[in-house]
Amino acid sequence: MPSHELDNFIICKKCHTLHKKVPLAHDTKAVCRYCDTVIYRNHRDLFNTTLALAITALILLIVSFSFTILTINIKGVNQSLNFASMFIVMFEHHYYFVGIMLGFLVMLFPLIILSSTILLLILMKYRKYPYLVKRLLILIAKLIPWSMIDIFFISILVAMVKLFDFTQIDVDVGFISFIAVLLLDFMIIKRISFNELWINYEEIYRINA
Ligand SMILES: [Zn+2]
């Protein structure tokens, strides 16, 4: 069989059954007949909606970093917790390593991942700069395991639970936008997987090549 004929077929990544590709309507997906795994989707709307989600997530992430996360009342004194105050406390107590790790894992990497995702989706949408898109895909894949924003949030929750008995804690804008960022992240990952992005990358830029 010549290779262009093979392009009309797709293999289910779970059970390895061969399927013939058929054109899909807007916002629909093709599911494996045998194991119900999603094989491919119609991506025209997917790019736009995922792009909107990623832009919203980036804005909310910047909000989380800029505003107060928690206000802790210790013996009548209000102490507000935000990123700037966390860095100041850590460096004052000479926790330089922890401070730098926090900066990279919780601030820098999530910011780079989200802005790269936005750039990537825009470039793929307009079918521009395949080399840059490939670099971005590799960069994001390498950084995702190092983004620890969810772990950071869980550790805040654990600290809150431990402090509840002793102090009064009020959640602030930063806290709420953190929850929104995590929910959006989850939605983005659910909508678009890396596997699919690579398949899309190959499909989009082979046409232009
Ligand atoms: Zn299958």
Q: What angle do CA 112, 115, 116 make, to 5 degrees?
A: 80
CA of 14 to the centre of ligand 1 (A): 5
Do residues 3 and 85 both lie within one domain?
A: no
CA of 39 to the centre of ligand 1 (A): 8
Comparing CA positions, the residue from 57, 55, 63 lying closest to residue 119 is 55
* C-alpha 18 to ligand 1 mean position (Å): 9
Ligand 1 centroid to 21 CA: how many Å?
Answer: 14
User: Rounded distance, CA 45 to CA 52, Å?
Assistant: 11
Tell whether 7 and 26 lie within a shared domain.
yes
Question: Per this entry, what is the length of the chain?
Answer: 209
β-bridge pairing 168-171 and 70-74: antiparallel
- The token pair at 71 is 């206000």
Average pLDDT over residues 37-48: 76
CA-CA distance, 89 to 85, in Å (whole number)? 6
In a shared domain, residues 142 and 156: yes
Statement to judge: residues 184 and 163 lie in one domain: yes
Confidence at residue 65, expressed as pLDDT on a 0 to 100 scale? 94
User: Around ion ligand 1, which residues have CB less than 5 A away?
Assistant: 12, 14-15, 17, 32, 34-35, 37
Distance of CA 40 from the midpoint of ligand 1 (Å): 12
Residues 16 and 90 in one domain: no
Give residue 9's pLDDT.
84
Give the model's pLDDT for residue 200.
80
pTM of model > 0.75: yes
pLDDT at 2 over 80: no
96 and 197 assigned to the same domain: yes
Cβ–Cβ < 8 Å for 74, 50:
no
Count up the domains in the chain and report the number.
2
Residues 35 and 53 in one domain: no
pLDDT band at 3 (very low <50, low <70, confident <90, very high): low
82: left (phi over 0), alpha (psi -120 to 50) or beta: beta
CB 63 within 8 A of CB 110: no
**Rg of the Cα atoms in the chain:** 22
Residue pair 181/59 in contact (Cβ under 8 Å)? The answer is no
Same domain, yes or no, for 34 and 50?
no
Same domain, 197 and 145: yes
- Residue 34 phi/psi, 5-degree rounding, is -95, -40
User: What local confidence, expressed as pLDDT, does residue 182 receive?
Assistant: 93
- DSSP code for 209: -
Specify whether 152 is located in the same domain as 86.
yes
d(CA 108, CA 126): 27
What is the distance in A from the centroid of ligand 1 to the CA of 19? 9
Domain region containing 164: 44-208
Residues 143-187: tens digit of each pLDDT: 988 989 999 999 999 988 988 888 889 999 999 999 999 999 888
pLDDT tens, residue by residue, 77-135 = 888 889 889 889 899 999 999 999 999 999 999 999 999 999 999 998 888 899 999 99
Statement to judge: residues 23 and 102 lie in one domain: no
Whether 11 and 97 share a structural domain: no
